[in-house]
Chains A and B, each alone.
Chain A
Amino acid sequence: MNTDLPTLPPGLSSLVRGGAPAAETAPVKLDVRDLNFYYGEKRALDGISMAIYAHRVTAFIGPSGCGKSTFLRTLNRMNDIIPGARVEGSVTIDGQDAYGPGVDVVSLRRQVGMVFQKSNPFPKSIFENVAYGLRINNLVQTKAELAARVEESLRAAAIWDEVKDRLNDSALALSGGQQQRLCIARALAIRPDILLMDEPASALDPIATQRIEELVYDLKKDYTIVIVTHNMQQAARVSDYTAFFWLGRLVEYGRTDKIFTAPSEKLTEDYVTGRCG
């Protein structure tokens, strides 16, 4: 029995773990079963089960340290590079076990893209930032094709008009919001299936945040998006589904409107109304 996590308040025994929200017609893209995650001896995630639907935006909310970012990073095995990290349970993507034997983690990450909390453009030109993923994965044959894909990605990330005249300038000269959209363009360039976003707007001003949110809304046509956010208004605005995490556990998961207006759990209600957390 794990002792790192305090016991949840009473009333949470009736968790809707992994319960598929009713009346969803979209196929399941990611299916997580009984996922435990450890940093060394410390258990950071406890028995997470949930289904994430294709072409929907799923938001993870919860207080700092509740495990939502850790959980996000188990979905593209980004935690693999942390020494001492260990995963139990299963993550299935389109029916295939992401942690199964013989899984090529490089190819997994190519299909499950990620945008980080702090924009992390490479210290190269704007063009090279987007071209990098295409080059290393051998996704384009000719220079013209490369240029076309770069433009397409920058357009998709709604930053093309701002940078088209200075593609060879350093990416570090861009503003914070532009850098983050460049990172989104970079992630989109390799055409992933799923896009994981770890608090993509937390360091941005309201206008830049709004642009990112509009972008997320547009992108769900083509991608399955999972977004971690601290900002509950943001979760309410952009997501179709919301999962509420608390102390390494998934407390409640369901349609966003239901989570915010009629949550089943007292703890969820307290959190979304700002009474706790």
Chain B
Amino acid sequence: MAVSLKASRSSAGRRRMDVVFQVAALAVLVAALAGLGALIGDVWRDGAGRLSWTFLTTFPSRRAEQAGIYHAIVGSLYVIALTAAMALPIGVASAVYLEEYGGRSRTARFIELNIANLAAVPSIIYGLLGLGLFVRALGMGRSVMAGAGTLALLALPVVILSTREALRTVPSTIREGSYALGATKWQTIWHQVLPMALPGILTGLILSLSRAIGETAPLITIGALTYIPFAPDSVWSAFTVLPIQIFNWVSRPQVAFKENAAAGILVLLALLLTMNALAIVVRDRFQRKGRP
């Protein structure tokens, strides 16, 4: 039988299905993006007029036209930096223990299951924990430290889970190569495994910090929702963060404050995108290291 290059009936049908699915997938994507675009467009219409250098560099005020968001930007940056500083080392160390040392014991599996569950716990619960632990028991008060501690607890499960995933992707040939040269377990982890897992670890950190920077509920619980006419100057200062300031403005009756809230949302978005872009640049630098 000769080769036929013409489409048979069944192949035409299958190709049609191919096209149908491609179009359907595209349509869903466009719908999702359109919804998001409309939302951002709406916020932009309301808030863009309020965006100015003054808005970014002044403190809140009872008069909407004079109110700024400086204190909340500084508060957010303080809190998120401190959250990262706590969540990264603790999360990575926990993951290294569970993945490299913990073995397959009953206890290890129990802890593993609990961490996976913790990642799904509503953030307000973390707020209550933070209130009891950091604000009251440890006497930190309504400080940046207490807020960052609470958000670090919130971020930890995701950091631990993604770090474990990243550690698992390091090929066993690399570990064996290191052991065969007389490396100890710790030397192997520190010099070979962690550097190779770093891009994956940072991806997890970016994800969890992106969530943390937008969190409102746990920080309200620990008492960050207060009128604060100054920016934090130490980790023990009282503070507020962008989502809380936005929440505060939205809950006021005047239209002008609604505009402030919209502008605040734009600032928060910009901060989030800048932070993620920065983290991705850092990650790619590590990824390229050692690669041809």
Interface of A with B (CB < 8 Å)? 76, 78, 81, 83, 106-107, 109-110, 113-114, 116, 118, 120-125, 132-133, 136-137, 169-173, 183, 186-187, 190
Contact = CB atoms under 8 A, between A and B. Distances in A.
B291 A123 contact: yes
> Interface size bucket, B side?
20 to 34
A42 B180 CA distance: 25
Given A122-B290, A170-B292, A172-B290, A109 B177 contact: no
Given A114-B180, A171-B290, A172-B290, 10 more contacts: A78-B179, A78-B180, A106-B183, A109-B179, A116-B177, A122-B290, A123-B289, A133-B182, A169-B292, A170-B291
Contact of A122 (B103, B187, B192, B292): B192
Contacts of B171: 120
Given A106-B184, A132-B191, A120 B290 contact: no
Contacts of A186: 177, 181
Interface in B179-223: 179-184, 187, 191-192, 195-196
B179 A124 contact: no
A229 to B, nearest CB: 18
Interface string B154-180: 000000000000000001011111111
Contacts of B183: 106, 132-133, 136
12 contacts: A110-B181, A120-B173, A120-B176, A122-B174, A122-B290, A124-B290, A133-B181, A133-B183, A170-B290, A172-B290, A173-B292, A183-B177
Which are the 6 A-B pairs with shortest beta-carbon distances?
A110-B182, A123-B290, A173-B292, A133-B181, A114-B180, A120-B173
B104 interface: yes
Nearest to B290: A123
Most-contacted residue by chain A among B173, B183, B187, B290 (CB, 10 A): B290
A136 B177 contact: no
A123 B180 contact: no
